[in-house]
């Protein structure tokens, strides 16, 4: 069991180092919710949450925590840490090693801890992809440790502002039960428990607004009879570049792996972010930030930026692994010359150390962390 945690910690460190200089975002939420959770009477609750995301071409790291204080003077809290290390891209597939660590606790009860490692094989395309993975982990609850096994298949399709993900996963683990035996005291035994989840998620990101919905069904294989379902929806509106209103509603099933009980909720929260986001009251972008890509005689690609009045121009893009690159001023044009894979790419500019903006002459889209980028075709 300890080896799983040691490997998971090493993966988190490697993923964090591989994500340095990449896209990142930190946000905090404060709100109210109407909460119905197993073991806690239905009531209103105050909620506090925080999240941290780092994303690069070779890995990502995501961490989050959420606490709720109900009117019955009960607390619940949960934390989740996910990390992934991605192999180099190839025409066929690339490998991925994903890790998850989680905790859940409530008043007057011992917390539940879990950790998992999952090697995956990814088949990535420009707008679609799929992944297959098989993992194992351990869960600690009530002073006992139990192993579990997890297989998952995902497929996704992305458009300009939308992404749809379908997933199928199976979980198998052992659970402890205390049967009452007539001639003996209660004895603890273990029995296997397994189930399959099928789910679909839709996400729409457009400027200052984002919407999402998830639905799924759980099919009992062993230990659970029949089928049960869950669903959730959320909406976010950024009224300034660093503050938003977030509304969500949903119904979740018991997460047997992470120890989170069945929950129904409806909530509204104020979100504060460290990095700027596309906003409703969009500021006027600096006039003249135009980008043009061309192929040089040597076979490389050249990105030219024309802007008036700037003394420093930086560029980030998927072809820079989202690391800032300072451009060189040549004859009144800011220039970057390197080998870039032809096709559609995402790009953003920073002028004189300001916020990252999309070039005014390119189509705009929302990136993976909510910022606005330009879509440029490299010849």
Instruction: Output the domain CATH number for residue 20.
Output: 2.40.160
Q: Is residue 68 part of a domain?
A: yes
Q: Give yes or no: residues 236 and 315 share one domain.
A: no
Q: Is residue 89 part of a domain?
A: yes
Please give the pLDDT value at position 377: 84
Element (H, E) at 264: strand 263-273
Can you tell me the distance from the alpha carbon of 102 to that of 63, in angstroms, rounded to the nearest whole number? 10
Query: What is the gyration radius of the CA atoms in the chain, in angstroms?
Result: 24
Q: Give yes or no: residues 187 and 310 share one domain.
A: no
- 343 Rama class: left (phi>0) / alpha (psi -120 to 50) / beta: left
Domain final residue, candidates 221, 246, 273: 273
Q: Tokens 């006027």 appear where?
A: 284
Q: In the 8-state DSSP scheme, what is residue 121? A: E
Please give the pLDDT value at position 185: 46
Residues forming beta bridges with residue 63, ordered by sequence position: 52, 81
Please give the pLDDT value at position 65: 93
| Residue 4 three-state SS | helix
Please give the pLDDT value at position 19: 43
Q: Give yes or no: residues 161 and 248 share one domain.
A: yes
How many domains does the chain contain in total?
2
Q: Give yes or no: residues 143 and 63 share one domain.
A: yes
Please give the pLDDT value at position 147: 87
Q: Give yes or no: residues 268 and 315 share one domain.
A: no
Q: Give yes or no: residues 300 and 169 share one domain.
A: no
Q: Give yes or no: residues 32 and 86 share one domain.
A: yes
Q: Is residue 178 part of a domain?
A: yes
Domain final residue, candidates 225, 248, 273: 273
Backbone angles phi, psi at 91, to 5 degrees: -70, -30
| Residue 331 three-state SS | coil
Q: Is residue 254 part of a domain?
A: yes
Q: Is residue 70 part of a domain?
A: yes
Q: Give yes or no: residues 46 and 93 share one domain.
A: yes
Q: What stretches of 269-353 show up as alpha helix (H) in DSSP?
A: none
Please give the pLDDT value at position 182: 42
Q: Give yes or no: residues 201 and 342 share one domain.
A: no
Can you tell me the distance from the alpha carbon of 107 to that of 96, in angstroms, rounded to the nearest whole number? 37
Q: Is residue 84 part of a domain?
A: yes
Backbone angles phi, psi at 62, to 5 degrees: -135, 130
Q: Give yes or no: residues 315 and 220 share one domain.
A: no
- Is pTM beyond 0.85? Reply is no
Q: Give yes or no: residues 50 and 117 share one domain.
A: yes
Element (H, E) at 8: helix 2-18
Domain final residue, candidates 240, 273, 306: 273
Can you tell me the distance from the alpha carbon of 73 to that of 70, in angstroms, rounded to the nearest whole number? 6
**Tens-of-pLDDT digits for all 379 residues of the chain?**
445 445 445 555 554 554 444 577 889 999 999 888 776 678 888 999 999 988 777 788 899 999 988 876 788 899 999 988 888 877 778 889 999 999 998 887 788 889 899 999 998 776 788 999 999 998 887 777 888 899 999 999 877 678 899 999 998 887 655 544 444 444 455 667 788 999 999 998 877 888 999 999 998 765 555 678 999 999 999 888 889 999 999 999 888 777 788 889 999 999 999 877 777 765 444 455 788 888 887 778 889 998 887 888 899 888 887 888 899 888 888 888 888 888 888 888 888 877 788 888 888 777 666 677 888 888 7
Q: Give yes or no: residues 269 and 312 share one domain.
A: no
Q: Is residue 280 part of a domain?
A: no
Closest to 35 in 3D by CA, of 248, 300, 202, 187: 248
What's the count of helices (H) and strands (E) in the chain, helices before strands?
Answer: 1, 24
Closest to 35 in 3D by CA, of 369, 370, 359, 264: 264
Q: Is residue 285 part of a domain?
A: no
Contact residues for 361 (Cβ-Cβ < 8 A; gap 6+): 290, 291, 292
Domain harbouring 339, CATH code? 2.60.40.10
Contact residues for 10 (Cβ-Cβ < 8 A; gap 6+): none
Closest to 57 in 3D by CA, of 124, 121, 119: 124
Domain carrying residue 48? 2-273
Closest to 242 in 3D by CA, of 274, 195, 207: 274
């Amino acid at each position: 069991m300890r080896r799983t945690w040691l490997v998971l910690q090493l993966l988190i460190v490697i993923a964090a180092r591989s994500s340095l200089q990449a896209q990142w975002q930190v946000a905090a939420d404060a709100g109210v919710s109407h909460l119905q959770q197993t073991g806690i009477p239905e009531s209103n609750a105050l909620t506090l949450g925080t999240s941290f995301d780092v994303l690069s071409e070779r890995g990502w790291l995501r961490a989050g925590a959420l606490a709720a204080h109900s009117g019955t003077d009960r607390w619940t809290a949960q934390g989740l840490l996910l990390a992934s290390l991605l192999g180099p891209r190839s025409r066929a597939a690339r490998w991925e090693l994903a890790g998850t660590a989680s905790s859940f606790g409530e008043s007057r009860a011992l917390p539940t801890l879990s950790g998992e490692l999952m090697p995956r094989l990814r088949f990535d395309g420009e707008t679609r992809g799929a992944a297959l993975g098989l993992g194992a982990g351990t869960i600690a609850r009530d002073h006992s440790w139990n192993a579990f096994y997890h297989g998952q298949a995902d497929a996704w399709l992305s458009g300009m502002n939308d992404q749809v993900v379908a997933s199928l996963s199976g979980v198998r683990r052992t659970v402890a039960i205390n049967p009452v035996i007539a001639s003996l005291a209660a004895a603890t035994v273990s029995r296997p428990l397994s189930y399959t989840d099928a789910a679909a998620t839709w996400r729409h990101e457009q400027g200052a607004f984002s919407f999402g919905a998830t639905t799924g069904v759980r099919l009992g294989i062993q230990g659970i009879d029949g089928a049960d379902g869950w669903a959730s929806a959320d909406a976010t509106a950024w009224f300034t570049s660093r503050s938003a209103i977030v509304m969500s509603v949903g119904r979740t099933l018991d997460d047997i792996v992470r120890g989170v009980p069945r929950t129904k909720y409806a909530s509204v929260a104020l979100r504060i972010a460290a990095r700027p986001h596309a906003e409703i009251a969009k500021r006027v972008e600096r006039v003249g930030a135009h980008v043009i890509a061309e192929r040089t005689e040597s076979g490389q690609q050249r990105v030219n930026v024309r802007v008036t009045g700037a003394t420093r121009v930086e560029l980030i893009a998927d072809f820079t692994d989202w690391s800032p690159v300072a451009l060189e001023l040549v004859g009144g044009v800011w220039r970057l010359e390197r080998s870039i894979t032809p096709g559609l790419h995402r790009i953003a500019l920073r002028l004189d150390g300001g916020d990252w903006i999309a070039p005014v002459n390119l189509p705009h889209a929302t990136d993976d962390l909510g910022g606005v980028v330009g879509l440029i075709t490299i010849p």
